[in-house]
Amino acid sequence: MIEQIRTEIVAQFGAESIVDMQLDGLQKALIIHPTSLVNICSWLRDNPTYYFDFLANITAVDYHPEAKFAVVYHLTSIPYQKQLTLKVFIANDRTVENLPEIPSVRMVWKTADWHEREAFDLMGVYFSGHPDLRRILLPDDWKGYPLRKDYEDPESYHGIAIK
């Protein structure tokens, strides 16, 4: 199935829209170019052959010490009982002032709202175009992103010892 989807995406959006395919491991995945993400996701949702109507999960991966992050999308077609994994790699210098950035898919699947906020809060991935991108689990004034591999726990928060 993944090879057929790749072929159709390339025909629809051009060869540059698919960066690679991951065929090893537990889940096969299409590696999507960031600028094609929203269009491909809309097409996968609206295409009657596939109808990926449910975004089950979004997660972010930190490739520290490399200056690279990935955002992983787990799509499900409920009527066809099929699943598809998409990945988008983002190069980034790892500074707090320059967060890794990717377009939001909130307008494609409403469930992305909460998933993107969680990835922003814990990994510092900025989803451009998200209507309400703010912390969801941590206080608004928390410094840093605790699921990054180079994160260091603060000693205190507002005078309260941590650890």
Tell me the DSSP string of the chain: -HHHHHHHHHHHH-GGGEEEEE-SSSS-EEEE-GGGHHHHHHHHHH-TTT---EEEEEEEEE-TTSSEEEEEEEEEETTTTEEEEEEEEEE----TTS--EEE--TTT-TTHHHHHHHHHHHH--EEET-TT---SSS-TT--S-TTSTT----SEETTEE--
Q: Does residue 162 have a pLDDT over 90?
A: no
The maximal CA–CA distance of the chain, rounded, in angstroms, is 58
Q: What rounded mean pLDDT belongs to the chain?
A: 94
Residue 26's pLDDT is what? 83
The pLDDT, as a whole number, for residue 106 is 97
- pLDDT of amino acid 153: 85
What would the mean pLDDT of 21-36 be, rounded to a whole number?
Answer: 93
pLDDT of 72: 98
Determine the angle formed by the axes of helices 37-46 and 2-13, rounding to 10 degrees. 120
- Arithmetic mean of pLDDT, 25-39: 94
Amino acid at 138: L
Residue pair 110/23 in contact by the 8 Å Cβ criterion: no
Structural domains in the chain plus CATH codes: 2-161 (3.30.460.80)
Is pLDDT of 37 > 90?
Answer: yes
Please state, in angstroms and rounded to a whole number, the distance separating the CA atoms of residues 69 and 66.
8
142 residue type, one letter = W
0.85 exceeded by pTM:
yes
- Compute the C-alpha angle 66/67/71, nearest 5°: 100
Tokens 């990926």 belong to 52
Q: Give the separation between CA 25 and CA 53, rounded to whole angstroms.
A: 25
Task: For residue 22, give the nearest of 14, 34, 31 by alpha carbon.
Answer: 31
- List pLDDT tens digits, range 85-137: 999 999 988 887 889 999 999 999 999 999 999 999 999 999 999 999 999 99
